[in-house]
Amino acid sequence: MFDLLPVVTAVFLVLAVIVVFYYRMIVVPNRVNTPGSSRKKDRNATLKEANRRLSSNPKDAEALLSLADLYFNDNDYDKAAKTYTLLSSMTSTNLGLDAYGINLRAGISLIKLGQNEEAYKLLLIAKAVQSDGFEVNFNIGYLEYQKKAFEKSVAVLRQASVIQPDHAPTQKYLGQALFKLKTFKEAVAYLRRAMDLEPNDKECLFFLAQTYFELGQGDNAVQIFTHLRPDPEVGPRAALFAGTIHFNARQFAQAIEDLEIGVRHVKAAPEVMLELKYRLATAYAQKQDMDASLRQYKDIRAINPNYRDVNEQIKRLSEFNANKNLQTYMLAPTSDFVALCRNLVGTFFPEALIKVIDVTIEKNDYADITAEISTTKWSDTIVFRYLRTHGQVGELYLRDMQLRLKEMHAGRGFCVTAGEFTPSAKQFVEARLIDLVEKDALLRAMNDLN
């Protein structure tokens, strides 16, 4: 019988040889020559060769350039900057070196390290070699922007924008520089382009909202500011802008919402936080929430006792809390203010018959009430002007009031303020039939009402 054992053994040995050959020739080379391993091997080889050459010649330009490029690609900007800067000093004597590329990369590396002044000098050298390069124009434009040299920034960023119109940072800084130069219409186009390219850039979006605000497009501006209020970086300033827009539109409840979101930010800059609190206090006062307003003013005083007129505001609001008529006079809605003024007319002539014949409101500044006053001895038409201010009143209001007296054929007028009149105002009425009523007299009249 034929013995199969030798045949099987021989086949097994052949298969084993084939497997070993396949492993050594195919599997092992593929494992070693993966892209990462290849790059690491090439990097190490480049580093070793460059250092070998530099050990015999420290100024070997080719070796230095290999090292500089290696460091730059590894994002090791400290070593890259030093090596490229050394190469920059050699470009005048070694014409084979790429002066543009070396100085450009030296400048970019220094920007990454925050050494902008040194970066600027090297980038100017690169621009002198090649003025139409995109990277050199963009980086110089960026540095000019950081230096607040906005006109210079715009000039070079325009060049960069022509070369590469789809580069989001170029569009962004060009738009922001134009905003700083108050060229708002042109700024909008670049900022919109930047947002199309980089929709998540909150800083750029904030500038776009500011630009809309400056162009009088309040609806567009407040929509963006409202969207940005929660952002930890630009949120406090966005809340301040949104609150200001709503406050100026006399939408006090919305202003309070904006400003309250702003003051809850823990990273708000101190000056922004103070202004947020100040405007929030003012908005609360307009809503006649004196306690909330006082809390904000007192918080400000605890941080900075000399901030704006905070001490005066605390004194004023404390007085409002003690006198509801004064609070109504200064802060209440127009209808309540006018009703109070009509009642005050009677305190000037308590025994007279009074007939109000005209009420005129000038925005939120003052109310003119014209009344026919009749007593047992005389009758006359009198104009009462009630000014909603606690500051000084000059003669301008009185000159205008004099014209009002003539218009209404009035024989006399009373100008009333919660503040005081200037010396020139008092001098103006000396030869005219206008009586001035300052704060103390107004408070006495209010007490008579009570």
Name the CA dihedral angle for 144, 148, 152, 154, rounded to a multiple of 10 degrees. Answer: 90
Which domain, by its residues, includes 383?
Answer: 334-449
- Bridge partners for 361 per DSSP: 367
- pLDDT value of position 270: 96
- pLDDT value of position 51: 85
Packed helices 61-73 and 35-56: angle between N→C axes, nearest 10 degrees: 140
Q: For residue 112, what is the domain's CATH number?
A: 1.25.40.10
7 within some domain: no
pLDDT tens column, 282-302: 999 988 898 999 999 999 999
Distance in angstroms (rounded) separating the CA atoms of residues 342 and 334? 12
Q: For residue 431, what is the domain's CATH number?
A: 3.40.1350.10
Q: Is 196 helix (H, G, I), strand (E, B) or coil?
A: helix
17 within some domain: no
- pLDDT value of position 34: 33
393 within some domain: yes
Asked if 92 and 102 touch (Cβ cutoff 8 Å), the reply is no
14 within some domain: no
Nearest to 274 by CA among 309, 299, 246, 243: 299
Domain endpoint, select from 66, 98, 130? 130
248 CB burial (10 A radius; 0-12, 13-18, 19+): exposed
3-state helix, strand, coil in the chain (%, to 5): 70, 10, 20
Packed helices 252-263 and 270-286: angle between N→C axes, nearest 10 degrees: 150
434 within some domain: yes
Packed helices 218-228 and 202-214: angle between N→C axes, nearest 10 degrees: 150
Distance set, CA 233 to CA 69, 202, 359 (Å):
35, 8, 49
71 within some domain: yes
How many domains does the chain divide into? 2
Nearest to 293 by CA among 329, 273, 321: 321
159 within some domain: no
Distance in angstroms (rounded) separating the CA atoms of residues 303 and 82? 46
Sheet holding 412-417: strands in order across?
Answer: 353-362, 366-374, 379-387, 412-417, 434-437
Domain endpoint, select from 115, 130, 145? 130
Asked if 88 and 97 touch (Cβ cutoff 8 Å), the reply is no
- pLDDT value of position 420: 95
179 within some domain: no
- Beta strands 434-437 and 392-393 are unpaired
- pLDDT value of position 48: 86
Asked if 450 and 326 touch (Cβ cutoff 8 Å), the reply is no
Cα 219 vs. chain centroid, distance in angstroms? 17
Distance in angstroms (rounded) separating the CA atoms of residues 424 and 7? 129
Domain endpoint, select from 110, 130, 150? 130
pLDDT in tens, the chain (450 residues): 445 555 445 545 555 545 444 444 443 343 333 334 445 568 888 888 888 888 889 889 999 999 999 999 999 999 999 999 999 999 988 988 999 999 999 999 999 999 999 999 999 999 999 999 999 999 999 999 999 999 999 999 999 999 999 999 999 999 999 999 999 999 999 999 999 999 999 999 999 999 999 999 999 999 999 999 999 999 999 999 999 999 999 999 999 999 999 999 999 999 999 999 999 999 999 888 989 999 999 999 999 999 999 999 999 888 888 888 998 999 888 999 999 999 999 999 988 999 999 999 988 889 999 999 999 999 999 999 999 998 899 999 999 999 999 999 999 999 999 999 999 999 999 989 999 999 999 999 999 886
Element (H, E) at 437: strand 434-437
Cα 130 vs. chain centroid, distance in angstroms? 36
Element (H, E) at 60: none
Whole-model pTM? 0.72
